[in-house]
Amino acid sequence: MKTNVYNIPCVRGHEAEIEAAAQVIREGGLVAIPTETVYGLGADALNEAAVAAIYEAKGRPSDNPLIIHVPGAHWLERYCVDVPQAAYDLAEKFWPGPLTMILPRKDNVPDRTTGGLNTVGVRCPDHPVTLAIIEAAGVPIAAPSANTSGRPSCTNAQDVLEDMNGKIPAIVDGGPCAVGVESTILDLTVTPPQLLRPGGMPLEALEAVVGEIAVDHAVTGQLKPGEKPRAPGMKYRHYAPHAKVTVLTGDGAETAAYIRAHITPGGGVICFDEYVKLFPDCVTHPLGAEGDKAEQARRVFDALREFDHTDVTEIYAQCPDDTGLGLAIGNRLKKAAGFHVVNLKREREHPMKIIGITGGTGAGKTSALNVLAEMNVEILDCDVIYHQLIQTSQALRTALTERFGDVFCADGLDRQKLGNLVFQNPDALAQLNAITMGFVEEEVHARMKQAEAAHRIGVAIDAIGLLESDVRYECDVLVAITAPAEVRCKRIMAREGISEEYAWNRVKAQKDERYFKENCDYVLPNDSTEDVFRARAVELFTKVLNP
């Protein structure tokens, strides 16, 4: 199929082309249409065959419903029932504009369009050319974003052509999109209304009209395997470039410094304009000035798409805060990253201290933790958490089984079998660590939140690999417990009944004392008696907890 691109920047003088596009729609064809948010892949929403063709061209799963585009609130009653007053209030204030409302649907909207749901998403886009096409077609236009399913959305006609060339008859080029992220989706069938997708209309603006709005879990976090979001589309991996993406939240200067410390030359960086000069050896894509979220929204999809034209394999992205358009920009970046987010500044409601404890085996971390527990600090021992998750987390078991096959036996993990698979194979070992660290970090976060809600004075996180994990950035202080190698060796031998040679090998395989000293804020040497060590620990932790 040949794909024709019609350049229609405005309505005046282009009436004939607009009529031609409307005719394609009326006849059941597909037309890519410009909107203020992103380009849409449009068809007659009431024509099942035409709607089926949209799913086909996008490669979209059929349970993911489409939204319908109408010329104004006067069409709401045609396709929806029980329309609440709030819908009219919102339309009055924000239509045409980047707001989609979920409302109970009438039977004339086909199942194919709504994915079988008894609700339908309705929006009036703010683009004169597309509004004219809808009016001329005389039917609502169903339109998902015009990208191939899973790819970043298209904010200009060229990007649409890249994804849809040869698959659809027509693309209307109405210029670059003014907003750049998709519409905000608000479910008005529940009380309070629920935000299903943050987008071009800020949450705060909607709340000013309808009061409290609940935010769906899928907006801010990753769904657990099997969890169903209210907007079916939120469950799919989205907007993802081919490279692995890591998102940084927190102060711009701090996140830029983090990227500099972690990126390898030739890596990709999506950063605020101010920081581009820090990355001369990288492929940078500026997102706009740090304070200019409107510009960041316009550029975010471009940034994600452009890296697919390079051979970059890792991308670090700076992320704005969650207010205004920041919620939508951050959501798109985080989804592209599969929610791999490093939070450099955790906003705490309550002044709880987070103490990171690390050091090699046998140095005395457990004694230090005992002191902290007596001081009423919550202890999060990552090793213990890992063993608990192996027993209790079906998701972790599934992830391990998917990668390594059936490594479980009647009473839990078959350590020997797993060990044989990974210890000779560095790639496999790295994957094992990445899988388990991901789950352990998530659990650590959950328990930190609980400790905060319970107003604990502090949390101590204990992990041998703390300094290599992103959890280190959550810690207010990092404390290394150190002891001479021969002392550690003796302790492990006594504790675990192992040979001297085996104990030495373990000690030698770990990072040395200097590494821990260089990377931590404090060092607690455990080179004398237990009493001396306890006294030192009490003194240090008292100071840390009561600055």
The verdict on 183 binding ligand TXA (CB under 6 A) reads yes
CA distance 22 to 43: 10
Find the shortest distance in angstroms from Cβ 238 to Mg ion.
7
Number of H helices, E strands in the chain: 21, 23
User: Among 59-67, 70-78, 264-272, 469-477, which window interacts with ligand TXA (CB under 6 A)?
Assistant: 59-67
Does 318 sit near ligand TXA (CB under 6 A)? no
Which segment (15-23, 32-40, 325-333, 477-485) binds ligand TXA by CB under 6 A? 32-40
In the complex with ligand TXA, which residue's Cβ is closer, 231 or 352? 231
From ligand TXA, Mg ion, none, interface partner of 358 (C-beta below 5 to 8 A by class): none
Binding flag, residue 331, ligand TXA (CB under 6 A): no
For residue 185, state whether it binds ligand TXA (rule: CB under 6 A). yes
Cβ atoms of 462 and 380 within 8 Å: the answer is yes
Question: Strand, coil or helix: what is 479?
Answer: strand
193 makes contact with ligand TXA (CB under 6 A): no
User: Which CB atom, from 298 or from 353, has the smaller least distance to ligand TXA?
Assistant: 298
Interface residues with Mg ion (CB under 5 A) are 145
User: Which of the choices ligand TXA, Mg ion, none does residue 35 contact, using the CB cut-off of 5 to 8 A by kind?
Assistant: ligand TXA
The number of CA neighbours under 13 Å toward the Cβ of 478 is 22
Residue ranges of E strands in 244-377:
244-249, 268-271, 283-286, 314-318, 341-343, 353-358
- Shortest approach of ligand TXA to residue 38 CB, angstroms? 5
Shortest distance, position 316 Cβ to ligand TXA, whole Å: 26
Q: How far apart are CA 109 and CA 81, in angstroms?
A: 12
In sign, the C-alpha dihedral spanning 63, 66, 67, 70 is negative
| Binding of ligand TXA by 120 (CB under 6 A) | yes
Residue type, 239: Y
DSSP 4-70: EEEE-SSSTT-HHHHHHHHHHHHTT--EEE--SSS-EEEEETT-HHHHHHHHHHHT--TTSPPEEE-
- Both tokens of 513, joined, read 């004392």
Shortest Cβ 219–ligand TXA spacing (Å): 11
According to DSSP, residue 172 is labeled E
With CB cut-offs between 5 and 8 Å by kind, which of Mg ion, ligand TXA, none does residue 185 bind? Answer: ligand TXA
Q: How many Cα atoms are found within 13 Å in the side-chain-facing hemisphere of 47?
A: 20
Residue 304 as a binder of ligand TXA (CB under 6 A): the answer is: no
Residue with smallest beta-carbon separation from ligand TXA:
233
> Given the complex with Mg ion, which of 38 and 368 has the nearer CB atom?
38
Residue 173 near which of Mg ion, ligand TXA, none (CB within 5-8 Å, type-dependent): none
CB proximity list for 69: less than 8 A, separation 6 or greater: 33, 35, 40, 42, 45, 122, 123, 124, 125, 130, 134, 140, 141, 142, 143
Q: What is the binding site for ligand TXA (CB under 6 A)?
A: 35, 37-38, 40, 64-67, 98, 100, 102, 114, 117, 119-121, 123, 125, 143-145, 182-183, 185, 196, 230-234
